[in-house]
Amino acid sequence: MPGKGGIFLPACITFSLAMVFEVNLKTRSFSPCLEVVPGHSYRCMELNLTRIPSGIPNTTQTLDLSFNPLKILHANYFSAVFALRFLDLTRCHLWKIEDNAFTGLNSLSVLVLTGNPLQILGPRAFHNLPSLQKFVAVEANLFSLAALPIGHLTSLQELNLRHNHIDSLKLPGYFSHLIFLQHLSFQLNEISSVSVGDLDALATRNLTLVLSRNEIKSIERNAFAGLHLQQLVLRGCFEDSAVMQASIRNMSGLHVNSLLLGEYRDITRVGTVDKTLLDVLCDLHLQEFTIIEMDFLESTSTLSACLNNISMVRVIHTYVSEDLKYPNNSNISQLEFKNCGLDAVPAKHLSSLTKLRVLRITRNKDLRYFKQYFRGLHNLETLDLSVNRLVTHLSWVDLLEGAPNLKHLNLSFNTEIKLEIECSGPGKLEYLDFQRTALVSPGIVPSFFCLHHLLYLDISYTGTTVIAQCSFCGLHSLRVLKMAGNGFANNQLVDNFRNLTKLHFLDISNCQLKHISLSSLTALRELRVLNISHNKLLGLHPETYVHTPLLTTLDFHNNQLAALTEEDLKNLPASLKHLDLSENLFDCSCDHAGFLRWVKNSSSLLRNVPKMLCYSPSDLKNVQVMDFALASCAINTTTVAVSVTVVLVLIVILILCYKYYFYLYYVMVLFMGNRFSDEKETVYDAFVIFSSKDQEWVKQELQQPLEEELPYFRLCLFYRDFIPGVSIITNIIKEGFQTSRKVIAVVSDHFLESRWCNFELEVAQSWQLVESKASLVLVVLQGVDKAALHRKLGLFRYLRRNTFLTWKDRDFSRHVFLRQLRSALLEGKMWTEDELRLMSKNG
């Protein structure tokens, strides 16, 4: 049975694996398309398909069938993929779309038919698309709007008919049903004229109409009258300025929020815009006017009064002279010159625009000078001079005198700006952006001292080195300070932000910081975002977090942090939502097990977790911190615990062994004695145990009389009879107790003091009990301490089989003693023949 099961199990596993593989293979081979989002989005681009592949699930919402030779769309062509929202049929060789081709696509929002040579469209071709918002038929061989049956697309918001052959702007009546239409593009068609009535269907539609790159030759007077458009784009529409001017004049009565007029960089035919051209704008009702890719006026003229009522004027990629004058009574409130070839800020002339609220002069490659300041621009709130080449000495006094209500000043991405401390009353500046412009002097002096209302200061990458502690003094209201890519004296942050108590956002990334003192951040109690990435910090003082209780984002990536300490973790503010600790030098040793455990449990808080890599120990280098096996630390602690316990137990055992050394020996002796007792025959009459200090006495008083006088006894004396090279304990057992009939213990003070003698005595006593063999003769010498004697010998002195003798150094006593001793030894003695012969000879 077990043999059978053993074969069955692997077979089963193999089978299941094969099934899984098979299923996988099937779903793959089912559809040749790329599964962008499973069950949701499929890309079947350029696969030589002639129909929808059957493997596309009916839940698919996004389907790209572009570059396949579908050619004809029959009725119900897409009924299998009824959930589609986005359908791309770009360049599908479609020439015929039959009625009801899209039936069932109730959710379709975007239909792209770009690049198809459409010839036949059934009158109901686009029926049943109730949700379609965007219809793109760029380059679709369309010749007229009347032949495009889209009147039922009532949800349509954007209709892009770029690059077709449409030659008439006569909008069919169905446009009046497309009430959500916002964007209508006829760019690159063949519309040459616009007549009255053409656009009637748009009547009050608020939409963007793009007519760029149509060769417009005539616009009938009032063709646009009464229309209200959101935006009208007319780029590259006119063959010369005369046609342009006449056409725009004929557009009078048009209300359009934003008019974009101009050309393309590579196609310029009108060239310059002159005063008369702009004068025709007087008959249009505009809020915004943008002119793009043209040349502006002759140098000394005045801007057309027809722009006066336009609140926003933008001039893009169009040459403008510094000497251009501006009307005194203009209503222009926003003016932008982007990439206009200016080489100085025309502050003096611009000062005529007293209603100016926003002025942007950006991306002028030659703009270096800002010498003259504005005068009397009381409404100016935003001045954006970013992305120019300004090299200037900025005077707060002069700037804020001419534009006292300035709130936003953007001088970013310029060349070099010099700042000084000057105060001219309370400036109202709130936003100040100097990023990527070399700044001279801040950091050394408190250049921003007077800007009490400043909320936002960006001096990122301005080459500033903060030396003075008071560099940011006076910025009482500051909420955002961005100063990435600068430096601090000694690469340390010490108290530089003391008075920035309102700060919400601080970016001091990339500042080569090695240390941030606790006191430099303690004042920032409102701080929400702290970016200290790309520095050389080993960590922050753990108390820092206590002083920033509202912190939500801390970016600490790319520093030299080894781990957060237990105290750090304890202090992290509860409000913290984003913590980026990636690209640090993590120490993944078990010393930081607490931190590593915390990391594993904090994936919702931590950002860029895959980039949190171990740096040490070397065998874990570049392992993701998240993948660190905490279990290895647990095992280690158990091992440590076990080893410590083992060592402790061993120590205890050793101490016990040392303390009860003799008793252990004793147990062993008992055990060994038992085993060998039968093997040895009796050789000695008595085994004498004594302290080596009493050896002389033993020789004199025992050995001599007992061995040399009749009757002869044989004593076992360690100094004579023990076999050298054998352990003492073996000698005691084998030579002493086992081969002797009796044991004589010579009890003296030395004896009582010696642990060894005591041990021998105890062995002898137990021996007696176990073997009932050697009986003990206790010889107590003169002057032995009575109390000690009692304690040591205890009851044994009273045992019947024991002989208890006392020895006194007197002839008579000695005689009695020897007699008693001899008789004790004679008890149970069996004389051998040799002994008897020897005795009779001597006797």
Ligand X SMILES: *[C@@H]1O[C@H](CO)[C@@H](O)[C@H](O)[C@H]1NC(C)=O
Interface positions with ligand X (CB under 6 A):
48, 50, 57-58, 182, 206, 218-221, 230, 243, 246-247, 250, 282, 302, 305, 308-309, 325, 327-329, 331, 352, 362, 386-387, 410, 412-413, 431, 433, 470, 473-474, 484, 499, 507, 509-510, 531, 533-534, 553, 555, 601
The residue among 66 and 412 lying less far from ligand X, judged by its C-beta, is 412
Neighbours of 763 (CB within 10 A): 23
| Runs of H (alpha helix) within 511-629 | 518-522, 544-547, 566-571, 593-600
Query: Residue 485 is encoded by which pair of tokens?
Result: 């890519």
Shortest CB 3 distance to ligand X, Å: 44
Q: Which residues contact 571 (CB under 8 A, 6 or more apart)?
A: 542, 543, 544, 545, 546
Beta bridge partners of 480: 456, 505
Shortest CB 671 distance to ligand X, Å: 55
Q: Which residues contact 635 (CB under 8 A, 6 or more apart)?
A: none
The residue among 437 and 765 lying less far from ligand X, judged by its C-beta, is 437
The residue among 310 and 733 lying less far from ligand X, judged by its C-beta, is 310
- Are residues 550 and 521 in contact, defined by beta-carbon separation less than 8 angstroms? no
CA dihedral 355, 360, 365, 368 (to 10 degrees): 60
Calpha distance 284→253 (Å, rounded): 6
Calpha distance 780→773 (Å, rounded): 22
HEC states along 22-37? Answer: HHHHHHHHHCCCEEEE
- Are residues 716 and 740 in contact, defined by beta-carbon separation less than 8 angstroms? yes
Calpha distance 602→839 (Å, rounded): 101
Shortest CB 476 distance to ligand X, Å: 7
Shortest CB 514 distance to ligand X, Å: 17
Which helix (H) or strand (E) segment is 815 a member of?
helix 811-826
Calpha distance 60→42 (Å, rounded): 7
Calpha distance 200→194 (Å, rounded): 12
Shortest CB 659 distance to ligand X, Å: 46
The residue among 602 and 758 lying less far from ligand X, judged by its C-beta, is 602
Query: Residue 268 is encoded by which pair of tokens?
Result: 């310029």
The residue among 581 and 698 lying less far from ligand X, judged by its C-beta, is 581
The residue among 305 and 838 lying less far from ligand X, judged by its C-beta, is 305
Q: What is the DSSP string of 665-706?
A: HHHHHHHHHHHHTTTSPP-EEEEEE--GGGHHHIIIIIIHHH
The residue among 421 and 816 lying less far from ligand X, judged by its C-beta, is 421
Shortest CB 522 distance to ligand X, Å: 13
Shortest CB 75 distance to ligand X, Å: 18
The residue among 435 and 544 lying less far from ligand X, judged by its C-beta, is 435
Shortest CB 472 distance to ligand X, Å: 9
Shortest CB 384 distance to ligand X, Å: 6
Count how many Cα atoms sit within 13 Å of the Cα of residue 555 in the half-sphere of its side chain. 16
Give the end-to-end CA distance of the chain in Å, rounded to a whole number. Answer: 93
The residue among 61 and 509 lying less far from ligand X, judged by its C-beta, is 509
Shortest CB 50 distance to ligand X, Å: 6
Shortest CB 386 distance to ligand X, Å: 3
Q: What is the DSSP string of 450-490?
A: T-TT--EEE-TTS--EE-STTTTTT-TT--EEE-TT-EEGG
The residue among 246 and 438 lying less far from ligand X, judged by its C-beta, is 246
The residue among 188 and 219 lying less far from ligand X, judged by its C-beta, is 219
How are beta strands 158-160 and 183-185 bridged, if at all?
parallel
Shortest CB 441 distance to ligand X, Å: 17
Query: Residue 843 is encoded by which pair of tokens?
Result: 């006797």
Count how many Cα atoms sit within 13 Å of the Cα of residue 266 in the half-sphere of its side chain. 0
Shortest CB 454 distance to ligand X, Å: 12
Burial level of 107, CB count in 10 A (0-12/13-18/19+)?
A: middle
Calpha distance 433→419 (Å, rounded): 13
The residue among 531 and 740 lying less far from ligand X, judged by its C-beta, is 531
Shortest CB 649 distance to ligand X, Å: 33
Calpha distance 490→496 (Å, rounded): 13
Calpha distance 721→687 (Å, rounded): 10
Shortest CB 303 distance to ligand X, Å: 9
- Identity of residue 628: F
Q: What is the DSSP string of 654-668?
A: HHHHHHTHHHHHHHH
Beta bridge partners of 219: 194
The residue among 534 and 734 lying less far from ligand X, judged by its C-beta, is 534
The residue among 503 and 706 lying less far from ligand X, judged by its C-beta, is 503
- Are residues 431 and 455 in contact, defined by beta-carbon separation less than 8 angstroms? yes
The residue among 567 and 785 lying less far from ligand X, judged by its C-beta, is 567
- Provide the greatest CA pair distance for the chain: 174
- Under DSSP, the state recorded for 798 is G
The residue among 427 and 673 lying less far from ligand X, judged by its C-beta, is 427
Shortest CB 121 distance to ligand X, Å: 25
Shortest CB 651 distance to ligand X, Å: 36
Calpha distance 673→765 (Å, rounded): 13
The residue among 505 and 712 lying less far from ligand X, judged by its C-beta, is 505
